[in-house]
């Protein structure tokens, strides 16, 4: 369920990261460590002004 919400966010943030959207297309069940990373990215997205 969380993955459905997370995937679009990763696709957006993935562009600027070293790992591109290509990796995200094959994204499999996420681990606890990955969940933390995703949560941090989502927090950063909330703080960033969107144009």
Residues 29, 2 contacting (CB under 8 angstroms): no
Q: Where are the beta strands (DSSP E) in 1-51?
A: none
Domain ranges of the chain: 2-47
pLDDT digits (tens, 9 = 90+) for 1-51: 455 455 555 555 444 445 555 555 555 667 888 889 889 998 988 887 766
Q: What is the pLDDT of residue 35?
A: 86
Token pair 């070293």 in the structure block, residue? 18
Distances (CA, A) of 21 to 18, 31, 49, 51: 10, 19, 22, 21
**Does the predicted model carry a pTM greater than 0.85?**
no
Q: What is the pLDDT of residue 18?
A: 53
Q: What is the pLDDT of residue 8?
A: 52
Residue 42, token pair as written in the block: 């989502």
Half-sphere exposure of 10 (CA within 13 A, CB side): 23
């Amino acid at each position: 369920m969380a993955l459905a919400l997370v995937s679009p966010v990763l696709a957006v943030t993935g562009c600027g990261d070293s790992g591109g959207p290509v990796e995200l297309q094959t994204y499999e069940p996420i681990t606890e460590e990955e969940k933390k990373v995703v949560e941090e990215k989502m927090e950063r997205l909330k703080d960033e002004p969107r144009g």
